[in-house]
Amino acid sequence: MSDKVIVDLTENLSNAGEPIRYEFEYRAESGLLPYPNATLKNVTVQFAVTYLKPNVKAEGTIVCDVDGYCDRCLANISRKFVLPFCQVFYKDGAGDGEYFYSGSKLDATKSVNDEIVLGLPSGLLCKPDCKGLCPKCGTNLNEAQCDCDKTPDNAFSVLKNLKF
């Protein structure tokens, strides 16, 4: 397991147009997750790299496990995410993209980190239809119903008392 995703392109550069598969076990940075009190573990990067003269295209998936708490009900959960990965790396920084390679080395670490940040959902849920906690009594609504008044508060009701 490494904290970098670095590809040796020697074989790719001599076989233009032919995709070559790579797989990495990656130890991602701790601050990538948008979820508080969650950990990212078991990150596997799998992609095929194709030399396109002069650029390099990497296409595949990032598989990662996230341990944390549901944003709605606070249940302890472990979720596996499979994120698509498709990126073009430009030779020596030429081109419009911010990802590049030099010589026969491709450091894909930044692009993998960016895909993790952008690809994960904004909320971590135990299940898509999680009902969450009752805002009045705290009952986990996935496990039981409560007897609290469900009538929503009207935020504009204070306007009734205004005198003009």
Residues 18-48: tens digit of each pLDDT: 999 999 998 887 788 888 889 998 899 999 9
Token representation of residue 121? 């959902």
Q: Among positive and negative, which fits the CA dihedral 93, 2, 9, 18?
A: negative
pTM to 2 decimals? 0.80
pLDDT grade, residue 159 (50/70/90)?
A: confident
Pick from 18, 21, 23: nearest CA to 1:
23
Q: Among positive and negative, which fits the CA dihedral 82, 86, 92, 98?
A: negative
Say if residues 56 and 33 touch (Cβ distance below 8 Å). Answer: no
The reported pLDDT for the residue numbered 96 is: 64
Which residues are CB-neighbours of 150 under 8 A, at least 6 positions away?
none
Identify the residue with better confidence: 64 or 2.
64
Q: Is the pLDDT of residue 150 over 80?
A: no
The reported pLDDT for the residue numbered 95 is: 60
End-to-end CA distance of the chain: 70
pLDDT tens digits, 114-128: 999 999 998 999 999
6-8/20-26 β-pairing: unpaired
Per domain, the residue ranges of the chain are 6-149
pLDDT grade, residue 97 (50/70/90)?
A: low
Mean pLDDT for 141-160 is 84
Identify the residue with better confidence: 158 or 70.
70
